[in-house]
Amino acid sequence: MIGKTREYPKEIMILEAIVRRFPRDDFKKAEFERKLYRKRAGYKGEKALDYFLEQVDHSEMVILNDLRIPINSTHFQIDTLIITPYFLLIIDSKNYAGTLIFLPEFNQLIRIQNDIEEVFPDPILQTKNQAYQLKTFLKKHSMTPPPIEYLVAISNTQAIIKNPTNDREVSYRVFRSSNVAFKLPLFYQKHTQSLLSKNDIKKIARHLVKAHEPLIPDPKSMNLPFNKMVKGVQCPACEAFGMDYHQGKWTCKNCGHKTGDAHIQALRDYFLIFGSSINSKQFRDFTNVKSSSTAKRLLTSMDLNFFGTTKGRTYSPGKNFFD
Ligand SMILES: [Zn+2]
């Protein structure tokens, strides 16, 4: 069963809002676009692995996706954790494109793409460290972990994987995501002793899910040009900003598209960039709604929590506002 689903990362939502509303002539926009591209590729790789894992028999295992667990003064992250009665298995997904050359002797992964050579941290060493940290965490919470295995999944189907030194660890631990159903049996053959009861498995899963702290980066630490971020309601059809609100509908000045709820995405962007609180005046300023009674009607029609009296009232996202 899936003990923890993979959710669309808040970090990517924040980057999307920033890129959408970044002043177009600011050279720093490209830096955020690159970061967003990289994060989306990583997420896509994780989803690709999820897809192939869904086709494996789940009955005896619990799968926890996307864990970020505090340890000492830092965190360790696990893309996918599979808990079986015999072993735990960490899978780290990499969605790198190009030619990937594993050189474990120096803990290096070389990537060649478009004649550009780059070095990445050794993903086998990364997952090995995750295994070590997971073991430490479980012991600290008085749980005796069974053997912890680790794998590196290459999700990009275009990637060329090379292991020039014929390193056994590389051939054992690196695999293509599509091959996961054939990789798992190797570990069942290696670890045959049932060490965890159903209750033990549940206990481990519960502890990890409880300790999970999602990464929510703070835009205030990103040096954004806050005063120049693009305001207005964006047209979902042509992406132009500055839709007008008349008689219950948003109308695009650029393409004429009409829609009822384009202010929801605008408000999401506002919360993601400026923080999770807005008052009526700020909402009117951001969406260019002139009338305060219209603003109030729009604000109270959305899944928002509000605080304070009529005049100083502030609104913040409700539980499902970002779903
Ligand atoms: Zn439009």
Average pLDDT over residues 8-25: 96
In 3-state terms, the chain is what percent helix, strand and coil (to 5)? 40, 25, 35
Q: How confident is the model at residue 59 (pLDDT cuts 50, 70, 90)?
A: confident
Centre of ligand 1 to C-alpha 36, Å, is 24
In order of their start, the domains of the chain are 2-211 (no CATH), 231-317 (1.10.10)
Listed residue (7, 123, 11) closest to 65, CA to CA:
7
Centre of ligand 1 to C-alpha 265, Å, is 15
Strand-pair partners of 76: 69
Centre of ligand 1 to C-alpha 234, Å, is 8
Centre of ligand 1 to C-alpha 256, Å, is 6
Residue-wise pLDDT tens digits, 83-92: 999 999 999 9
**309, pLDDT greater than 90:** no
**310, pLDDT greater than 80:** no
The CA distance from 306 to 287, in Å, is 19
Residue-wise pLDDT tens digits, 29-52: 999 999 999 999 999 999 999 999
Q: How confident is the model at residue 114 (pLDDT cuts 50, 70, 90)?
A: very high
* Dihedral pair phi/psi, residue 69, rounded to 5°: -115, 125
Residue-wise pLDDT tens digits, 220-231: 999 999 999 999
Centre of ligand 1 to C-alpha 253, Å, is 7
Centre of ligand 1 to C-alpha 263, Å, is 14
280: number of Cβ within 10 Å:
20
Q: Are 52 and 31 in contact (CB under 8 A)?
A: no
